[in-house]
Amino acid sequence: MENLTLSVFWINFAPIYQHTIGGLTLFLSVLVTFLILMKTPESGRQLSRYLLLIQASILFCDFCWCFLVGPIMLFPIPAAFCDGLLCGTEIGAHVGVVLLFQCMSLVAMTVACTLHYEYTVIARMMNCRRVTTCHKAVVRLMYAFVLELPEAGIIISEASQQNLRELLISEKQVLR
């Protein structure tokens, strides 16, 4: 069976499709943000802050995926072409990969914080448990720490790969 992701049609079509879908999702994100700001009743204002946070993180994630990095996946090969604004240099491509992981963990963190907020509201409404501000802060910091670990790993591995590359280049020059 032929790998269609390596065909010339896919490589030419994928960026156009991705940027079109990206522009549409950015427009929809701005529209949803406007509706949250203007049409949320007064009783839902506290939850709307969290919904705005989720929407802002999704907007940032869409912008990174569709315009800054723009990866074109080459399935089943674990690789991608970089077709975004950051892809001109090796450093830009590395920053793009870290940015993709960062924005995905940002979306996960905002969803987790929103769910935690809903849990605290339900607990307060049922008078079954008092959730303190300290508890909220600890849980949110724990979410942030756990979700930031992959980015730290990527940054450290890239630094060690760069050091290894420089070491191999210097060793090659010494051998000559």
For residue 115, the Cα-to-chain-centroid distance in whole angstroms is: 19
What rounded mean pLDDT belongs to the chain?
81
Closest by CA position to 48, among listed 60, 36, 35? 36
Is residue 53 scored above 60 in pLDDT?
Answer: yes
Closest by CA position to 62, among listed 28, 11, 112? 28
Closest by CA position to 37, among listed 21, 18, 59, 53? 53
**Which residue would you say has higher pLDDT here, 1 or 115?**
115
Residue 127 DSSP code: T
Confidence of residue 158 (pLDDT cuts 50, 70, 90): low
Q: Number of H helices and number of E strands within the chain?
A: 4, 2
User: For residue range 76-103, what is the model confidence (pLDDT) as tens digits?
Assistant: 666 677 788 888 777 787 788 788 888 8
Give per-residue burial for 105-119: e unless 16+ CB within 10 Å, then b. Answer: bbbebbbbbbebbee
Task: Provide the token pair at 169.
Answer: 């280049």
User: With the C-alpha atoms ordered 32, 34, 39, 41, is the resulting torsion angle positive or negative?
Assistant: positive
Residue 168: predicted pLDDT? 61
DSSP string computed for 4-59: GGGSHHHHHHHHHHHHHHHHHHHHHHHHHHHHHHHH--GGGHHHHHHHHHHHHHHH
Is residue 176 scored above 60 in pLDDT?
Answer: no
Confidence of residue 35 (pLDDT cuts 50, 70, 90): very high
Is 92:141 a contact under the CB 8 Å cutoff?
no
Is residue 175 scored above 60 in pLDDT?
Answer: no
